[in-house]
Structure 1
């Protein structure tokens, strides 16, 4: 009888020193990992811990090493020294990714991001075309949409309840207020309204998979269609909202695995 047990996954933690502070990262790897590692970029309230079991599942299903990290100001990383600049999505790709790869011993990679992390993954693929083999976006935004802003306004009201902020603090500690404000105030700022991923998308040279749920409260299906148009394909999960990696974890890992196995 064949052994159907899932492969053992080894977790390894590390730290990266930047000029503004230290970043925390964690890797998951099956014993016989093969192929380019997958770098995960978290969402606006996210961190390594909030990926929960998805990185280990993704590593087991794909047979690849998976790396996730806490951006500056999030999770176990140091506090951010100020406010997010208008170009923070592109800056992550240009300034942090090459240092992260050097610290983690990564050459070529697959960029995979959730929500605003999907934008960072796209900017990373556009900035480092010689190193990024494929791009996966999960519930990513490609432009500032009324549906996104409406969802943020609901979240803003929800965070008037101290209990909701306390839940964020479980993962971000005393950085929680900054995390929430960085998300809401950045996206609701009229100066951010013209932002799009269009320039980065035009520079992509790798295959693209844009995953989205059809009940996503922070973005319509126009986002995955725009991201994938002429570059790859969109995969739409029926009855799934903004967090596919928690709502349909194994199905999402399977879709990503199938994409990575394509020629």
Structure 2
């Protein structure tokens, strides 16, 4: 089997927004009507922060894969503050479709981590004709006490350690605005509490809902409620001895779970 071939792409949306992406294509998929895996990164994410996981997932499944940086991140168009309370809804409802359109993708399987997982759930509900399955790691549908405590701890690290320098390796001069966009939005008092359950209950495709058993940003009830909201087409998986980033902290188990789920779809 020939190796996947990666291409850097700068997707131009109708409003002029630029989205930086890596598009991997397998030569053996040429002419096949198979969905593409689309990876959605976390709240402080970047393509490079996935490390080698996109390559491993593409190799294990034999599927084409698109991984991109949302607005404000990496090499995509910038954002401004303050970020709206409902930014997750907007990303999933309003922005995933234009990105898929610009990339020329019709049928997709969304694979989202943390914020990206929440966005994937929303997009699965909003785009039922295009999202054939959804996989999430550490998705959140509300702000729970563990989420708040984890973000407060991250702010303390940001102010007292070399955490900003580590993030700057990926985000450069955008580092501070992205960190503020994350923690200020999640920690501010909201007129309407975050509640994505309405989206979850409108997901009708197969779903694999994953979380590290020791996730420092989300209670186990996040997974339980997502699975309950979707119903019988959803499967919940807790990965032992794993925190918030299963695809790095428990790479083998995460890759195996995702691959088995995708194979079960019989695409």
Report the TM range for the smaller structure's normalisation.
Answer: over 0.9
Superposition TM-score, scaled by structure 2 size: 0.92
Deviations 1:169-210 (A, max 9, x none): 110111000111111111101117711220101111111110
Matching of residues 1-263 of structure 1 within 5 Å: 8-18=3-13, 19=15, 21-33=17-29, 35-161=34-160, 163-191=162-190, 194-229=193-228, 230=231, 231-263=233-265
**8 Å CA contact 2:134, 2:206 repeated in 1:** yes
Unaligned runs of 5+ in 1: 1-5
Secondary structure, aligned partner of 1:32? helix
Deviations 1:124-177 (A, max 9, x none): 000000111011110111211000100000001001036211111110111000
How many angstroms does 1:7 deviate by? Answer: 5.4
How many angstroms does 1:77 deviate by? Answer: 1.2
Unaligned runs of 5+ in 2: none
Cα distance in 2, alignment partners of residues 105 and 17 from structure 1: 12
Secondary structure, aligned partner of 1:38? strand
Which range moved further: 220-229 or 124-133? 220-229
Match of 1:3?
none
Cα distance in 2, alignment partners of residues 256 and 195 from structure 1: 28
Cα distance in 1, alignment partners of residues 191 and 221 from structure 2: 19
**8 Å CA contact 2:2, 2:28 repeated in 1:** no
**8 Å CA contact 2:210, 2:223 repeated in 1:** yes
Secondary structure, aligned partner of 1:64? coil
How many angstroms does 1:30 deviate by? Answer: 2.9
How many angstroms does 1:93 deviate by? Answer: 2.0
The 1:147–1:193 alpha-carbon spacing in structure 2 relative to 1, beyond 3 Å, is: farther
**8 Å CA contact 1:118, 1:137 repeated in 2:** yes
Which range moved further: 66-75 or 121-130? 66-75
**8 Å CA contact 2:92, 2:119 repeated in 1:** yes
Cα distance in 2, alignment partners of residues 104 and 76 from structure 1: 16
**8 Å CA contact 2:81, 2:177 repeated in 1:** no
Give RMSD over aligned pairs: 1.6
**8 Å CA contact 1:7, 1:60 repeated in 2:** no
